[in-house]
Amino acid sequence: MQADIGNALDGALGLDRAALDDLDDRVADAHERIASGRRESEHGYAALNLPETCDPEPIREAAAGFDPESVLTVGIGGSALGAATITDALDSPVDAYYLDNVDPAWVRDLLDSLDLSETVLNVVSRSGTTAETLANFLVVREAMTDAGVDWTERTVVTTGAEGNLRAMAEKHDLPALDVPEGVPGRFSALSTVGLFAAAVAGHDLDELLAGAASEAEKLSGSLYDSPGYAYGAVSYALAERGAAVNAMMPYAESLERFAEWYAQLWAESLGKDGRGQTPARALGATDQHSQLQLYRAGPADKLVTLVRPRESADAGIPETELEGLEYLGGSSLGDLLDAEFRATEASLAAAGRENVRLEINRVDERGLGELLYATEAACVLYGELAGVSTFTQPAVEWGKKAARGLLGGGDFPEADAVRGKRTLEID
């Protein structure tokens, strides 16, 4: 992977090379902290060791027992997004689906569309108590039984060492994968959590991990040595200067879910203590016709991150009789997409709007492994520089308790607060 940060300098927010050089001293300290955390396998930091510590063999073994039409992952947040990012990006004859919401109509529609006898079910929850995931699991399990499918023959669990799902796996002798210790969900794409569906879909786990390892090797005490740290340092420096928003805009439909994965990584890791850059999801070239007006002419409060695969399959544009469009005929969709990419990048720069280009060779296992790892490294470095607790998400607990109280799962004062909602209704 390569990062080009040329357009992040000397824009409206005033970051210049001298300031970045100054920041590099702090990057050295932050790197020491990160390296120490990795050596001790501390909570969170351990995620950056996954290219070495994740053993793909048990994952492949758990997948090898099936030859399904589809793999259905039941999980939410980090228990779904990493796997979905990988399987959405790569082609496979096995379809991968994700039940990561509890919308009843949508759950029903998805289950109705699947041949459950040809589906592998992977239920993913470290604790075994995530309400959305367990509710969906109960619904899917019943649907399998209703369809005459023995769910114990088609279910794999990915969970912690203890809890409901672990006990269930032991009781029914289900294949069970371990959620690694010290790896928060949003950093678990390159572990059992993110790789089981990829294995069922036939993707090359070794290449995914090798891509990640190649970026891990570049990490050093200088932001100029690795794309991951360079991106993290620039994001942090621009956020300090007013880039409240970081828009992730890959120029590949297959990376649309990557932007969603990034949004969780960035929001949950950095959004605390009244600080944190807000991730915005975008997609090139489509969002040129939606978000570009704002990015270019709205507030100078954004970094736009453009992701470009250097090579992909192409499709020719036929010659045409249509007036004024002769220039398109004989070109290709790939040429057009790349021209749009470069035009958008330059268009932002010409308006003084900071942007960064992240490049991988192709959207394949290696490129994805590089991209996921480098983005995680960027996030960890940003968190270190900002002095936040990167690997926790305490603010979501309030709502979990409130929801549980509302459903009769115990007495929680948060549920009373819900009932006391202040209203000003306009019909």
Active centre residues (catalytic): 268, 289, 400
Nearer to a second copy, 41 or 254 (CB): 254
Nearer to a second copy, 136 or 191 (CB): 136
Minimal distance, residue 29 CB to a second copy, in Å: 19
Minimal distance, residue 53 CB to a second copy, in Å: 25
List CB contacts of 178: < 8 A, sequence separation 6 or more. Answer: 158, 159, 160, 161, 192
One DSSP character per residue, 102-156 reads --HHHHHHHHHHS-GGGEEEEEEESSS--HHHHHHHHHHHHHHHHTT--GGGTEE
Nearer to a second copy, 181 or 314 (CB): 314
CA distance 357 to 342: 10
Residue 337 C-alpha from the chain's centroid: 23
Nearer to a second copy, 1 or 120 (CB): 1
Minimal distance, residue 57 CB to a second copy, in Å: 29
Minimal distance, residue 324 CB to a second copy, in Å: 6
Q: How far is CA 108 from CA 81, 142, 255, in A?
A: 21, 12, 27
Question: Tell me, what amino acid is at 289?
Answer: H
CA distance 100 to 84: 10
Phi first, then psi: what are they for 214, rounded to 5°? -65, -30
Q: Is the bond preceding residue 285 a cis peptide, omega within 30 degrees?
A: yes
3-class SS at 3?
strand
Nearer to a second copy, 43 or 60 (CB): 43
CA distance 58 to 12: 50
Phi first, then psi: what are they for 184, rounded to 5°? -60, 150
Minimal distance, residue 196 CB to a second copy, in Å: 19
Nearer to a second copy, 39 or 172 (CB): 172
Minimal distance, residue 222 CB to a second copy, in Å: 10
Nearer to a second copy, 143 or 205 (CB): 143
CA distance 382 to 239: 10
Q: Which of 71, 72, 61, 192 is nearest to 126 (CA)?
A: 192
Minimal distance, residue 35 CB to a second copy, in Å: 19
Phi first, then psi: what are they for 155, rounded to 5°? -115, 135
- For the chain, the distance separating the N- and C-terminal CA atoms, rounded to the nearest angstrom, is 53
> Based on the number of CB atoms within 10 Å of its own CB, is 39 exposed (0-12), middle (13-18) or buried (19 or more)?
exposed
Report whether 291 contacts 282 (CB < 8 A): yes
Nearer to a second copy, 56 or 309 (CB): 309
Minimal distance, residue 188 CB to a second copy, in Å: 13
Tokens of 171: 């009781």
Instruction: Please compute, for residue 15, the number of CA atoms within 13 A of its CA located in the half-sphere on the CB side.
Output: 29
Q: How far is CA 425 from CA 289, 418, 421, in A?
A: 34, 16, 12
2-4/355-360 β-pairing: antiparallel
